[in-house]
Amino acid sequence: MLQDPTEWFARRTFHHRSFTDPLALADAKRDLGQTVSVCIPALNEETTVGPIVEGIRRALVDEVGLVDELVVIDSASSDGTVAAARAAGANVHQDREILPDLDPLAGKGEAMWKSLFVLRGDLILWLDADIRNFDLRFVTGPLGPLLTDPSIGYVKSFYRRPIGDGTETTLEGGRVTELVARPLLNMFWPHLAGLVQPLSGEYAGRRTLLEQVPFCTGYGVETGLLIDIADRFGIDTIAQVDLEERVHRNRPIGDLSRMAYAVLHTAMRRLASGGRLDPSLPARDVLLQFDVVGGESHMQPMPIEVRERPPANSLAGDAASR
């Protein structure tokens, strides 16, 4: 029987203020004999990736030893992202250079999946590279439940998401979540309806868990991971932590439409694989969008590549070589 999301919410929701002492978390990590890797997938984020890396390195690597490894997985950035990350103290890998025998795919999920083959930590935390109000709670918050409760294997972050032009701000961020992801989860996976930010980009998990699930290569990665982890390990292995507020670059509506399409595509694949949707239905990899030029609408076909990588532990030779 699927668990009531209200009961899950009451037991598995934490606040970052419960994990504000990095020294205590570092001691817990050493007592457990665990190591921690922080990974930042990045594409053209030179203005924010440096301060994020420097803050983690200085306070959590050098001072207290909570973080053992700090890595940026770059997806062929055309700006100064790589230089900024290295100058701040991160090890940088190009996603296309990891597992080079595989045909390269595009997207955030691809970078995350490939990171499993270069990271060494027992606990892995992924952070988005565009956080403008970064502080240590973005690291200590998601790691806290993993270091204090062995029954928790995967921790999602949630927060308020301001949106605006800098002069007027509202808390109406997270538009793809509210218009697409939340209705989908409530309708088809109601046991996951207690997740405040199912598409948040800051989350942590145990390697032993993460290597057993597939990764969608694009913006469907968060949706796919939630569904697959809950299906394979049970909803109780998932927790969430309140980080209060996250400020980042708000994307234009056209970008959000493509993100929403990837989320829908991923959800439909999971419904089909679970026997809840006819798998023979066509799944288009092109989203038709429109631009207005000279007062006329012009159709713009946008390819949306939704591919999937298998569980990392299914590539036994590559996992062993790591």
Q: For 268-288, write each residue's pLDDT tens digit.
A: 999 998 888 887 765 678 888
- Cβ count within 10 A of residue 88: 19
Chain centroid to CA 253 = 21
Over pLDDT 70: what percentage of the chain?
93
Read off the pLDDT of each residue in 307-317 and give the average, rounded to a whole number: 87
300 found inside a domain = no
Report the pLDDT value the prediction gives residue 280, as an integer from 0 to 100.
73
Q: Which helix (H) or strand (E) holds 286?
A: strand 286-293
Determine the Cα–Cα distance for residues 139 and 126; give it in Å rounded to an integer: 9
pLDDT at position 182 over 90: yes
Q: Which of 19-28, 44-53, 184-193, 257-266 has the lowest mean pLDDT?
A: 257-266
Chain centroid to CA 303 = 22
Report the pLDDT value the prediction gives residue 167, as an integer from 0 to 100.
46
Q: What is the CATH number of the domain that holds 271?
A: 3.90.550.10
pLDDT at position 174 over 80: no
- What is the band of 316 on the pLDDT scale with cuts at 50, 70, 90? low
Read off the pLDDT of each residue in 308-318 and give the average, rounded to a whole number: 84
216 found inside a domain = yes
CB-based contact 198:185 (threshold 8 Å): yes
302 found inside a domain = no
As for how many domains the chain has, the answer is 1
The amino acid at 232 = R
CB-based contact 131:41 (threshold 8 Å): no
Highest mean predicted confidence (pLDDT) among 56-65, 255-264, 265-274: 56-65
- What is the band of 165 on the pLDDT scale with cuts at 50, 70, 90? very low
295 found inside a domain = no
Report the pLDDT value the prediction gives residue 320, as an integer from 0 to 100.
45
322 found inside a domain = no
Q: Which domain holds residue 121?
A: 5-290
pLDDT at position 267 over 60: yes
Q: From residue 119, how far is each of 92, 98, 103, 198, 237 by CA, in Å?
A: 11, 11, 21, 24, 22
306 found inside a domain = no
Of the candidates 252, 210, 45, the residue with the CA atom closest to the CA atom of residue 128:
45
Q: For 86-143, write each residue's pLDDT tens digit.
A: 999 999 999 999 999 999 898 999 999 999 999 999 999 999 999 999 999 999 999 9
Determine the Cα–Cα distance for residues 146 and 198; give it in Å rounded to an integer: 18
Classify 76 in phi/psi space as left (phi over 0), alpha (psi -120 to 50) or beta: left
305 found inside a domain = no
Determine the Cα–Cα distance for residues 142 and 67; give it in Å rounded to an integer: 13
Q: Which two tokens stand for residue 66?
A: 């909570």
304 found inside a domain = no
pLDDT at position 297 over 70: yes
Which residue(s) pair with 123 in the sheet? 36, 206
Determine the Cα–Cα distance for residues 21 and 137; give it in Å rounded to an integer: 10
Q: For 193-228, write each residue's pLDDT tens digit.
A: 999 999 999 999 999 999 999 999 988 999 999 999
**What ranges make up the beta strands (E) of 91-164?**
91-94, 123-126, 154-160, 163-164
